[in-house]
Amino acid sequence: MNFEINFLEILKTSFTLAILFGCSMVMLAFVLERWLYYRKVRSNGAKFIEGLLRLLEEGRFDEALELCERCPGPVAAVAHAVIKNKGKLRRHIEELAHAVRMEQRLALERYLGILGTLGNTAPFIGLFGTVVGIIKAFHDLALSGAAGPSVVAAGISEALVATAGGLAVAIPAVMTYNYFLKVVKDVAVTMEMTQIRALVYIEGSDRSPSL
């Protein structure tokens, strides 16, 4: 017996698919938000660092501060903290810069936990929907009596849609989550490298040339 799967009807009648549809909308919203944020953070990153280090090497600290203020972002925030407090002891500058790095890392990792949670739980939501669907299919078979296995086949095929839906949400969520973690790691390393280089240039400018 031929049958067709009406996905729209399944979506209307299956609460698990409705949950997965909501999860997919949440996932898309946060993926788009994070992508736009990271795109803004990483735009002209290499150009900014090159210009910053050139100004620091030449001892033009006021211009370096202005450059950091014109280019907002995690790396610029760390460099700004180092340059602004260049008159303090090195350990104090390092502590202040470390605090800024921690603050910026929190901003970089914002909403990533939601993507990770969706990637981990979506398959289980889909599996739960499949189990419920199979139970319902066998229940319908018991009620139909001699209707044959076609009743079970149609019900199970519809139930497996929930598993497919869970995977459809989980796979892109996990992929984007891992990619965004890589972005966060790269930016964190860049912040630390910029801090170290800025400190070296500042200490070098404070030393009197040997005669």
Please tell me whether the overall predicted TM-score, pTM, comes out greater than 0.85 for this model.
no
Q: What is the pLDDT of residues 141-179, one digit of tens each?
A: 777 665 566 666 666 777 788 888 899 999 999 999 999
Q: What is the pLDDT of residues 80-104, one digit of tens each?
A: 999 999 888 889 999 999 999 999 9
Delimit the domains of the chain by residue range: 7-204
pLDDT at 210: 44
- The answer to whether the CB of 133 falls within 8 A of the CB of 162 is yes
pLDDT band at 188 (very low <50, low <70, confident <90, very high): very high
- The answer to whether the CB of 155 falls within 8 A of the CB of 140 is yes
**Going by C-beta distance under 8 Å and a sequence separation of 6 or more, which residues neighbour residue 109?**
184
Burial of 21 (0-12, 13-18, 19+ CB in 10 A): middle
Q: Residue 59 pLDDT more than 50?
A: yes
DSSP code of residue 109: T
What whole-number distance in Å separates Cα of residue 152 and Cα of residue 138?
Answer: 6
What whole-number distance in Å separates Cα of residue 86 and Cα of residue 83?
Answer: 5
List the single range of 9-13, 63-67, 111-115 with lowest mean pLDDT: 9-13
Neighbours of 189 (CB within 10 A): 10
Q: What is the pLDDT of residues 120-137, one digit of tens each?
A: 999 999 998 888 888 877
First to last CA, the chain: 98
Q: Residue 207 pLDDT more than 90?
A: no
Q: pLDDT: is 151 or 110 the higher one?
A: 110
